[in-house]
Structure 1
Amino acid sequence: MKKSAGIILLAIIFISSLFYSTKTTLASEMSFTVKAILPENQRSQEVSYYDLRVTPGQKQTLQLELSNDTDEDIVVKASANAAITNDNGIVDYSYNKTKKDSSALYTFNELAKLPEEITLPKHSKRTVDCVVTLPEKAFDGYILGGMYFEQKGVEEAAKSNESMAIGNRFSYVVGVLLSENDREVKPELALNKVSPDQKNGNNVVLMNLQNKQPALIKKLQVDAKLYYEKEKKPRYENHQTALTMAPNTNFDYKIDLNEQPFVPGNYTVKVTVNDGFRDWQWEKAFTIEEKEAKSYNATAVNLPPEQKQRLPWHWIFGGIIGILAVIAGIVYYFRKKMKQQQMQLEKYKTHEEK
């Protein structure tokens, strides 16, 4: 019992740190507010998000109160989103079109239905319903998601006047945590694909980390080292602590090359991960091809000119030699043919003289 209580308390503390309202306006400029109306199956009344104990096949309507205290009517865009782990290692609820993780049985966006647009007249309040339909089959662990609200028109304004639009951007997230029992589900982490890539014009190596279980990870530590060929000392490395992972999600952890070009060859990454309770260790080899390295180096924004892609002279010379060989072959063919024709002509003349 003490162990279960500790797990529940840890989950509540963790989720509290994850659910937030994103505001980029000043308090006096707030366009609207969102408040969760907590139902009877709420596990804790001390939090402002939905932490619900549900049952298989249950259909529940979650209610939220939206308020507009301004002097203008506004339209709010809304979406019920599955929680993801973004590439900064942070649980994120702001994406409504994300690819379902291969390990996930259910995602919040599949279970929840929310109006896409909500009109709020000036100085008014409105109750909005989100209908959640639980799967018939029971599940252990957590389904995690959030209801995301943003004032409509911000993106359009940003295109016409970005400096003005940024100051007026305003959004809310109300988190939803669904569980059916207190059975502990432990994370199961995996290292998937490793590959060279580019982020914001910077050369990086990406390592896809996956949480295969419906378990929350509050404090993830990742230590990644990149080795070239058979070198014993890593060329590049990255160590981060206090990352978070949502249940049944994956993200790309990166090693930055720090203003260095990709060098073609064979590489190995060694990755150690700790979720606060146990370690995972992986070692994976991969190859960066010469053509691939040159392509990334040519478009990297942080490389000095001398390290960008140079002209591939060996290919150029090879091409020139090939073209010359073709020309020489054509010349040889026509000279040979002309010689044969000349010999036939001389033979014909000799025959006529006789």
Structure 2
Amino acid sequence: MFKRLLLLAAVIAGVVGSGQAVHAASVNFQVAPEIPKNQIDKRLEYYDLLVTPGTTQNLTFLIQNTDSGSHKFAVSVNRAGTSPDGNTSYSEHGVKPTSSLKVNIESLFPKPHTYTVDPHSTRRISLKLKAPKEAWSGILLGALNVQKVDQDASTNGTVGITSRPGYAIGIQLQATKTLPTYTPELQFNGAQVATNASGSNVSALLENPAPILQTGLHVSAQVLRNNKKVLSQEIAGIKLAPNAQMAFPLTKTTTSLKSGTYHLVVNAQNGEHKWHFEDNFTVVNPVMKSKTETKAKQAHDGPFPSWLVAVMIAIVSALGWYIWYLRSHRQD
């Protein structure tokens, strides 16, 4: 039974809850969930639970370390989000929730913790789930995230990205066995701009305010200046996590956008539902000196410019000579 669960959990991309993906990478360890009795769909290999409000239960899973040395694993329950490429993401913990989120799944579980697993052994770990006292609408969506944190971290020297092997096992909680039908909703939270010497990043902030996973969203956006297109992007098949915000990215520029006012236009569609948003934003590029340049100048000039110091020394020297000259002639 355990081997079967390990095989199922080690799938690189599995389907979870209406199309959300769970990604796993295995390096000398494996993770498998122990499915509880209140599982809604027994065929699924992730936690798809019908939870009674006000109750508590343990979610148990197994970490098998197949290596010859012990390893440490960081364990956390992460709320589902939407990555910039439009996929469901479970990689971050403690992300600021949207105003539409009523119940944060992360608050129902213990805080992130690190566990040690001995070589060639399996450790059973339980996390206590404390359900809200009142029933919630829709689904609470997240994942059990397990990452090896002591070794095997690989770094891409070209882009400076460090990756660690890990598993994400989906957690979907419902207070009712049958979910109501939700009409797709889309909320526009404005433009987000980040500008530096290497270029400019402009994102349209799009939020799914409904407690249900929205799939099949198509978004196209462009940035105009003086009615001329300077940035654009189009992504189809977006999955918006429940009550989550996506930073929809427009094409990054190789140089910073010039200072001025820009106009963002967003068009989105999901089936027969369409949305149109517009917003103006301003880019300001201040001319700033680096800290190195500032410190070098301060060290070189001191509290006064060097030329002023030289003039002051010359004046003092001349004044001293003149006083000496007057005194010597008076004595004569």
Normalising TM by the smaller chain, what interval? 0.7 to 0.9
Determine whether 1:109 maps to 2:106.
yes
Contact 1:56 / 1:137 at 8 angstroms: preserved in 2?
yes
Distance 1:140 1:125 in 2: 37
Describe the superposition over 1:295-314 as per-residue Cα deviations: whole angstroms up to 9, x where unpaired. 69x99xxxxxxxxxxxxxxx
Q: What is the match of residue 76 of structure 1?
A: 73
Distance 1:18 1:39 in 2: 21
Alpha-carbon distance, 1:220 to partner = 1.8
Alpha-carbon distance, 1:175 to partner = 0.8
What TM-score, normalized to structure 2?
A: 0.73
1:183-262 equivalence runs, <5 A: 183-198=180-195, 201-229=198-226, 231=227, 233-259=228-254, 261-262=256-257
Number of residues paired by the alignment? Answer: 273
Alpha-carbon distance, 1:50 to partner = 0.6
Q: What is the match of residue 124 of structure 1?
A: 121
Contact 2:49 / 2:173 at 8 angstroms: preserved in 1?
yes
Q: What is the match of residue 315 of structure 1?
A: none
Contact 1:187 / 1:216 at 8 angstroms: preserved in 2?
no
Distance 1:140 1:277 in 2: 24
Contact 1:107 / 1:144 at 8 angstroms: preserved in 2?
no
Alpha-carbon distance, 1:130 to partner = 1.4
Alpha-carbon distance, 1:15 to partner = 2.6
Q: What is the match of residue 6 of structure 2?
A: none
Contact 2:16 / 2:22 at 8 angstroms: preserved in 1?
no
Select which of 47, 50, 54 maps to 1:50.
Answer: 47
Alpha-carbon distance, 1:16 to partner = 6.6
Contact 2:204 / 2:248 at 8 angstroms: preserved in 1?
yes
Contact 2:28 / 2:65 at 8 angstroms: preserved in 1?
yes
Alpha-carbon distance, 1:148 to partner = 0.8
Cα RMSD, aligned residues only = 3.0
Distance 2:191 2:287 in 1: 18
SS of 1:204's partner is strand
Alpha-carbon distance, 1:286 to partner = 2.4
AA aligned opposite 1:282 = F
SS of 1:293's partner is coil
AA aligned opposite 2:78 = N
Describe the superposition over 1:110-143 as per-residue Cα deviations: whole angstroms up to 9, x where unpaired. 1112661222111211211111111111111111
Alpha-carbon distance, 1:13 to partner = 5.5
Contact 1:188 / 1:211 at 8 angstroms: preserved in 2?
yes
Alpha-carbon distance, 1:168 to partner = 8.9
Alpha-carbon distance, 1:34 to partner = 0.7
Alpha-carbon distance, 1:284 to partner = 1.5
AA aligned opposite 2:126 = D
Distance 1:71 1:132 in 2: 33
Greater displacement, 145-154 / 249-258? 249-258
- The structure with the greater share of residues assigned to strand is 2
SS of 1:46's partner is coil
1:293-304 equivalence runs, <5 A: 293=285
Alpha-carbon distance, 1:294 to partner = 5.3
Describe the superposition over 1:134-178 as per-residue Cα deviations: whole angstroms up to 9, x where unpaired. 1111111111011111112148x669x979xx9993211111011
Q: Aligned in 2, Cα 1:113/1:257: closer, same or farther, shift over 3 Å?
A: closer
Contact 1:52 / 1:177 at 8 angstroms: preserved in 2?
yes
Contact 1:85 / 1:249 at 8 angstroms: preserved in 2?
yes
AA aligned opposite 1:275 = N
Q: What is the match of residue 299 of structure 2?
A: none
Distance 2:144 2:49 in 1: 14
SS of 2:132's partner is coil
Distance 1:282 1:136 in 2: 38
Select which of 12, 16, 22 maps to 1:20.
Answer: 22
Distance 1:54 1:234 in 2: 50
Q: What is the match of residue 37 of structure 1?
A: 34
Q: Aligned in 2, Cα 1:122/1:136: closer, same or farther, shift over 3 Å?
A: same
Select which of 85, 101, 106 maps to 1:88.
Answer: 85
AA aligned opposite 1:213 = A
SS of 1:113's partner is coil
Alpha-carbon distance, 1:14 to partner = 5.6
Select which of 170, 178, 185 maps to 1:175.
Answer: 170
- The structure with the greater share of residues assigned to helix is 1
Alpha-carbon distance, 1:199 to partner = 8.2
Contact 2:62 / 2:125 at 8 angstroms: preserved in 1?
yes
Which runs of at least 4 in structure 1 moved beyond 4 Å after TM superposition? none
AA aligned opposite 1:22 = A
Greater displacement, 107-116 / 50-59? 107-116
Distance 1:158 1:13 in 2: 27
Residue identity over aligned pairs, in percent, reads: 25
Describe the superposition over 1:207-255 as per-residue Cα deviations: whole angstroms up to 9, x where unpaired. 11111111101222111022213x2x53332111122111111121122
Describe the superposition over 1:39-60 as per-residue Cα deviations: whole angstroms up to 9, x where unpaired. 1111112221111111211212
Distance 1:199 1:121 in 2: 46
Gaps of 5+ in 1: 1-11, 300-354
